[in-house]
Amino acid sequence: MARREHSDIEAVGIRARIGEMFYASGLLPPLQKLRALVRDDLRILAYHRILDIPDTDAFEFDLELISADADGFRAQLGLLKRRFQPLPLGEMVDALVSGRRLPKNAVAVTFDDGYEDNYRVAYPILRELGVPATFFVSTGHIDSGQPFAYDWLVHMILRTGALRLKLPELNLDVPIPPSRSARRLFAADLLRHIKAFDSALQMAAIMRMEQEWDMPRSASSPDCRPMSWKQLREMHASGFEIGSHGVSHQMLAKLPDDRLHGELKQSKATLERELHVTAPFLAYPVGGDLAFDHRVINATKAAGYAAACSYVYGTNRRTSWNQFSLNRLPVEREMGTGWFAAMLTLPEFMGYPIKNLTTNISDTACSS
């Protein structure tokens, strides 16, 4: 675990420094022009949460879901307006489907999950600067107001007084490290481990932790609250797109057929009922290679969606784009404006280092 921690931090640090150097050098605008001559592609940014956290160590939820603080987000949007062409995702998809040309340097801004800070922090800044955005929300969480399961898992690991994590159904019986920083890494490893299992096992394991450690999700927390329908209606009335992120934020590829179809159809119907519009877009929950496949794509088409975003890193070339597997560029908390600008300009080289999908949490585990 320590080795990966070190190499991850090193890779992030190196890329941040290179990004800032590129930005300060003034080379990015000419490189952007040069790249546009040889590469005709569309960029879609993926955000989760926009939040100011004065003390990151004291924050009791998943820091990896914080994409930027308010000032950083404002600076990123400023750069988008100066150097790129922000467009609604719907306009981008319509143009791709119809073959219509889009402005060079088109960028769409998207948000996943539906955290309350999207309304409280991101929405006023987007509106003030006139940048369009699409918010993908998990409708069951908007209905219930309950925190997201994966974020609650991180919360439980950070807060528990238990000394060991025992989840025999996931082949885990491991000590929980004492320090908060070590627990964050442990929780990140646990998330990667758990996401390899089918959805029912994942949810059963999380619910068991809630019960055994007496930390029910229903206890909720102001730091991990979803938006309300009232807030989403206001955002939609202001011109922002609201799309589906499933009902209960489960990995669709890990669900049996009936549950898969239920998540897709029910979330779409709920959005249409609550917002009185068609909801043509989906972002696959989790969204990486493990989260969607051909079966999920076929079910997405059958449920009536016009396009779907993945969480696979990359841009979308006009010649080879897939409207049911749109690549995105995730924005991460460690990105300053320089790195952000460098990623948008040179996405092939300047993305956030891909997180290791394998896990070593079970290296020390005892099989049940």
Contact residues: Zn ion, CB under 5 A = 112-113, 285
Which residues is 109 bridged to in the sheet? 45
Residues 6+ apart with CB under 8 A from 301: 324
Pick the closer one to Zn ion by CB: 15 or 48. Answer: 48
* Cα–Cα dist 210/217, whole Å: 7
Cβ at position 46, least distance to Zn ion in Å: 9
Cβ at position 333, least distance to Zn ion in Å: 16
Pick the closer one to Zn ion by CB: 150 or 324. Answer: 150
H helices of 173-256, where?
180-194, 199-212, 229-237
* Cα–Cα dist 10/26, whole Å: 25
Cβ at position 202, least distance to Zn ion in Å: 14
Pick the closer one to Zn ion by CB: 226 or 285. Answer: 285
* CA distance to 59, 124, 161, 202, per residue, from 121 (Å): 17, 6, 33, 31
Cβ at position 300, least distance to Zn ion in Å: 15
Pick the closer one to Zn ion by CB: 78 or 262. Answer: 262
Q: Are 312 and 272 in contact (CB under 8 A)?
A: no
Cβ at position 103, least distance to Zn ion in Å: 29
The two three-digit tokens of residue 21, written as one number: 């150097």
Cβ at position 334, least distance to Zn ion in Å: 19
Cβ at position 65, least distance to Zn ion in Å: 8
- Which residue has the closest beta carbon to Zn ion? 112
What phi and psi, each to the nearest 5 degrees, are found at residue 94?
A: -55, -45
Q: Are 62 and 189 in contact (CB under 8 A)?
A: no
Neighbour tally for 218: CB within 10 Å = 9
Residues 6+ apart with CB under 8 A from 329: 43, 44, 45, 46, 313, 314, 315, 343, 344, 347, 351
Pick the closer one to Zn ion by CB: 132 or 246. Answer: 246
Pick the closer one to Zn ion by CB: 113 or 210. Answer: 113
* Cα–Cα dist 303/281, whole Å: 11
Q: Report the residue count for the chain.
A: 368
Using alpha carbons only, give the angle 264, 270, 275 rounded to the nearest 5 degrees: 125
* Cα–Cα dist 169/368, whole Å: 8
Pick the closer one to Zn ion by CB: 105 or 231. Answer: 231
Pick the closer one to Zn ion by CB: 221 or 364. Answer: 221
Pick the closer one to Zn ion by CB: 16 or 296. Answer: 296
Residues 6+ apart with CB under 8 A from 180: 57, 158
Cβ at position 178, least distance to Zn ion in Å: 30
Cβ at position 267, least distance to Zn ion in Å: 12
Pick the closer one to Zn ion by CB: 15 or 249. Answer: 249
Cβ at position 130, least distance to Zn ion in Å: 26
What phi and psi, each to the nearest 5 degrees, are found at residue 208?
A: -65, -40
